[in-house]
Structure 1
Amino acid sequence: MTELPSQESAETENVRGLLEEVLREFDELGPDTEPLQVELLASEILGEWWEAGDDLAAELIDFAAAAPEPERLVAPLAVLRSLAGTEEQRAAAGLALEKLGRDEPAWAGRLNQVTVGDCWRTADVYGDASSVLCVFGEGEGAHGLLVSIGYAIHGGWADEAVIVEAPDEVVAEMHTQAAESGGLITCERISPGRAHQLLADAFVGTELQDEPEITDDYVRFRALAQARLRVLPEPEPVDPPQVLSTEDQAEIIDEFFRSTADVADTEAARVCVLRLIEFGVEHDPRRPLRVGPDKLASFVDYVDDGDVALTEEQDEVLPEVLAAWARWGASRDGLSEEATESLLEAVDDRLYERDLEGESTMDAYLDGLEDLDEQSVAELLERRRFAVPEVVTELGGEEVELDPSDPEQRRLLALAEHPEFQDSLAEDDLDEDGFLRLAAYSTLVDQLWDGEPAEVWRAARRLRDKGLDRDQVLEELAKVLEERLAPGEEDELEFDIDEYCQALDELG
């Protein structure tokens, strides 16, 4: 067994173990293994490294110079020479392989040496989604790269990539899907250069995201997919992003209101249209005014998540503006009557879901309160939404909706806003300062929710009126409480309520 150079740190020991696992997997490859099978193994390993944010390719290349059993490094270095993620790593792996001076497996010179066949694309008529298939090789050795691309946000990005063993069957399925779509999906053969452009842009869109929502197949086949892109001809040029000046945007808004009688031309409605244009410029720069079910649903998601800012008045007119914008955009895009009807139905469905979500959330925020007048309801919602702005959080890797009226669930929502302490909480090794800070914060959220003591909300409003955002306000309030927390009976924390309220009155 190869002995990796000993290092004292636990991190280095972990790297040693991971590299040894890789070497063992490559030890099992025979000299006559098919190149595609080698590539699939390597792609899975590289995908695991990428997903973990710990690319060990550089460590493996560096280790080659001092390996006691250099023959074990030949196979992985040959793979990295073809499939490593950067040109620098591929070159470094090739140089390390030359320095070893060992015979390479028969498959080494055939990695990523494939002919390019036909390329196909399906797309919906709205421009929301597309699938691209590139065929490589011939006869029984032919395989395909199939990539799913969404264009609703991020300028287009790939959420799935898979190597398929029977590309002819996939092509047949693509044609069938288009034929049975009622004119909503097209299927066409495209040039390899066009396919290269579409796929390269899509992969960039994915890689630029901090936490893209991708499938396991994307991770598994990512390295091999990107290697296959290097076999394709140069990408075909495409139109640059549209630049819409402030004057252009104002003209578009004027044109929209001149062309539709469904929405009153008010300041609130104009802001909604402006936000739709801005959303398109940011997330769909080549076709910022394009309308599609996924794109408009994503806009609503961004509004609900607070990433697109609307006042309460603007939010009230959003449903009618969104429906009119969809109808107007469909006409601009030349969509068929069937496509337009399907689009409007999708918008109605999303708005209906939003109403249900709003009613559910409203019930939670108004829990236990009856016979309030309109002004009291508005004031209570303002306070409680300040205390708990989101009812959806991530638990166990899944998004869940919690009930803020339940103290325990409200505490989970409060703690979710402090991810920097979550690992320590899970391992039960939170230090005293961290414990006091979280205790102050969760107690503060409870006080704001209950409206007791009243001094808390009054202080919060004063600080907010001075221009502090919510995080800054909570930080100032938490400091006041944290400074007054002291151990009480049975390990509980206590504070003097009168002293606390006086300090709050002096704040801001």
Structure 2
Amino acid sequence: MNPRRHHRSSGEPGREGSPPPDEVTAIFDGMLQHARELLAVRSPLDAELIVSEILGSWWAKRVPDGDVEEIIGEALVAHAGTVGTPAALALLIGMAYMGTPRQAAMAERAALELMGNGVARPGWADRVGMVAPEECFVSRDVYGDQDSIVCTYTYGGTERHALVILVDRNKAGAVPSASGQFAPVARVGRPPMPGMVRDAWVSSKVDTLLDHCRREGRDNPLMRFEPLDSRDARALLQSALDLTDDTDDPPVNENFGSYHAFVRARVDILPPGGRLPQPPVYGRDRRATIAARFLASDEAEGLSDLSAASRCVDRIIDYGCTHDFGRPLRVSPVKCEMFLLDWLPRKVLLSPTEQEAVPHVLAAWVRWAGKRTGLPEEGIRATLDALWDATAKFAEAYRDPSAFGLDRDLVGRLLPDGDLEALPRRAFALPFLSGTHRRSGRHGFINLSTLDPADRDDRRVILEFEHPGADEEHLNAHERLAERLWDGEPPQLWDTAQSLLDIGYERHEILHKLIDVLDRCGEDPEALREALHVLRHEPPPE
């Protein structure tokens, strides 16, 4: 459950984990001062954008042990109702349209009460929210990296405006989709694949904007501009917004929070019924067939080490299937850079021959896959240019553990799945790389160098070696934590451990803090995330 969009029981400012009442009141008074701008505007569009900016001041923020929309948003409604000024009423009218469902209901009741007491309404009050959608369009690059969704609206035929929303799939590819099941659809144009909202903006110069997009789609071989069914636009944007909202610290434009409530409200009035396309399923046999066809192609003919090339192309295909919405054949400058400089260095343990081969295999793949997906020659050239620029940085980005003096056999046992990103957290969870182990090498009659940390029984022996004389319950607690750290579930567990290391806590003290949190939270994943968030802000040790 997302604490920014759902609600638990109602609460009051000043409860445990919340700012003190005087501080909250000062914050709310500042927001009401901002709301005075609502009294100076005549346009409902301007009013909605101001209200959205106020609501965005806490979007994506988190509060310990609570719901930010409840602690701040709903409390602001209560405070505005108590203040009872014309600015407070204007803000309440805007929140009745743009707030969360609970905020909207509370704001409507408070606004009606203030109007009943004779507080003057702003001139735009009767028209706020009385907006209807017109058309939707999509401006997309031929690579499939990003789409700009353009939706036009009017207030009864007047004040026509366009909302432009940037949907980015490269940033979203590694994040599980929040939209549930996808289903195929075939209406106006090709429905875009899901992604993450990165930015949004509003223009009142609708015709100028659309003319510019049409020219770019006509004159730029790397861009397309076409109509988009409004139902598909809603399905895409709801999914992308959900993904953005459900992501901790989403990679959005710094001003996106100011538009968030406005975007949500505008997307909600688009017609329902659209569905997102189903990503194709690539099983093991299908992936192997694609790899075999590539390796037999003219583009792969110049690859000198076919064994290393085979392993590299398997990584390329896996990345496209798992982290690019089931699109292994899609190539682009950004995707190649992310694969080579971000994903491989974090996630994959490459042999020295694979490290040397992967840029050349990727270049051949770009030529082969680009032709098969109909990518214009300009797009293939631009992708290859970006790839060769990234190749010079790959040697720096990819840090082979053996370069730091780590035994490659030991690294291989810690990474049976080849997940390079897991190395530091697994080494932290198990004292397998410590100097003591390397010196002694034995635990009783057991040769520690023969133990497999991926095996639960062997893992238990390692933990017994680290905790001589510990009772069964204590060892069980360490074993449960070690298993979670080994699997990286939840990711916040290792994030918290690193934060505590950074401020000076010792490893074993951190392990016990994490065990305490796991014991307290039990099987409640939301409680665990919140408790880890609090623990990450622990003061440094004295």
**Normalising by the residue count of structure 1, what TM-score does the alignment of the two structures yield?**
0.66
Q: 1:58 to 1:288 in 2, by over 3 A?
A: farther
Q: Which amino acid aligns with 1:80?
A: M
Distance 1:310 1:35 in 2: 58
Is 1:191 the counterpart of 2:224? The answer is no
Q: Partner of 1:11 in structure 2?
A: 20
Q: Partner of 1:48 in structure 2?
A: 57
Q: Which moved more, 1:257-266 or 1:225-234?
A: 257-266
Q: Partner of 1:244 in structure 2?
A: 282
Q: Partner of 2:217 in structure 1?
A: 178
Cα contact 1:36–1:111 (8 A) shared by 2:
yes
Distance 1:464 1:347 in 2: 41
Q: Partner of 2:199 in structure 1?
A: 160
Is 1:128 the counterpart of 2:145? The answer is yes
Q: Partner of 2:132 in structure 1?
A: 115
Q: 1:46 to 1:299 in 2, by over 3 A?
A: same
Distance 1:44 1:331 in 2: 46
Report how far residue 237 of structure 1 moved.
Answer: 2.0
Identity over aligned residues, as a percent?
Answer: 27
Is 1:89 the counterpart of 2:132? The answer is no
Larger radius of gyration: 1
Cα contact 1:131–1:149 (8 A) shared by 2:
yes
Aligned-partner SS, 2:270: coil
- What is the aligned residue count? 393
Report how far residue 31 of structure 1 moved.
Answer: 7.8
Q: Partner of 2:467 in structure 1?
A: none
Q: Partner of 1:413 in structure 2?
A: none
Cα contact 2:163–2:203 (8 A) shared by 1:
yes
Q: Partner of 2:45 in structure 1?
A: 36
Cα contact 2:200–2:256 (8 A) shared by 1:
yes
Report how far residue 35 of structure 1 moved.
Answer: 1.0
Distance 1:460 1:303 in 2: 36
Cα contact 1:159–1:215 (8 A) shared by 2:
yes
**Normalising by the residue count of structure 2, what TM-score does the alignment of the two structures yield?**
0.62
Q: Deviations over 1:361-395 (max 9, x none)?
A: 99xxxxxxxxxxxxxxx96643599xxxxxxxxxx
Q: Deviations over 1:59-114 (max 9, x none)?
A: 1234467x264766422221111111x33332343344445563643423322322
Q: Which amino acid aligns with 1:284?
A: D
Unmatched segments (≥5 aa) in structure 1 = 363-377, 386-416, 419-440, 442-447, 449-453, 483-508
Q: Deviations over 1:183-212 (max 9, x none)?
A: 111122323223323333332332232222
Distance 2:123 2:274 in 1: 35
Q: Partner of 1:80 in structure 2?
A: 95
Cα contact 1:149–1:158 (8 A) shared by 2:
yes
Aligned-partner SS, 1:110: coil
Report how far residue 229 of structure 1 moved.
Answer: 0.8
Q: Partner of 1:276 in structure 2?
A: 316
Q: Which amino acid aligns with 2:230?
A: P
Q: Partner of 1:429 in structure 2?
A: none
Distance 2:132 2:255 in 1: 23
Q: Deviations over 1:441-471 (max 9, x none)?
A: 9xxxxxx9xxxxx968956998897649999
Highest RCO, 1 vs 2 (Cα 8 Å, sep ≥ 6): 2
Q: Partner of 2:246 in structure 1?
A: 208
Unmatched segments (≥5 aa) in structure 2 = 1-11, 63-67, 174-194, 409-423, 442-447, 454-458, 460-484, 487-493, 511-542
Is 1:58 the counterpart of 2:71? The answer is no
Q: Of the candidates 169, 186, 195, which is equivalent to residue 208 of structure 2?
A: 169
Aligned-partner SS, 1:50: coil
Structure with the larger helix share: 1
Distance 2:407 2:203 in 1: 51
Aligned-partner SS, 2:201: strand
Q: Partner of 1:287 in structure 2?
A: 327
Cα contact 2:222–2:376 (8 A) shared by 1:
no
Aligned-partner SS, 2:39: coil
Distance 2:203 2:450 in 1: 56
Q: Which moved more, 1:165-174 or 1:260-269?
A: 260-269
Q: 1:459 to 1:91 in 2, by over 3 A?
A: farther
Q: Which amino acid aligns with 1:151?
A: R
Distance 1:343 1:380 in 2: 30
Q: 1:466 to 1:161 in 2, by over 3 A?
A: same
Distance 1:357 1:309 in 2: 13
Q: 1:13 to 1:304 in 2, by over 3 A?
A: farther
Distance 2:353 2:250 in 1: 33
Q: Which amino acid aligns with 1:77?
A: L
Cα contact 1:152–1:284 (8 A) shared by 2:
yes
Q: 1:237 to 1:455 in 2, by over 3 A?
A: closer
Q: Of the candidates 26, 33, 42, which is equivalent to residue 35 of structure 2?
A: 26
Q: Deviations over 1:237-269 (max 9, x none)?
A: 232222222232223222322333243574543
Q: 1:105 to 1:249 in 2, by over 3 A?
A: same
Q: Partner of 1:410 in structure 2?
A: none
Q: Which amino acid aligns with 2:74?
A: A
Report how far residue 167 of structure 1 moved.
Answer: 2.0
Q: Partner of 1:222 in structure 2?
A: 260
Aligned-partner SS, 1:133: strand
Distance 2:170 2:57 in 1: 27
Q: Partner of 1:256 in structure 2?
A: 294
Q: Which amino acid aligns with 1:49?
A: W
- CA RMSD, 1 decimal: 4.0
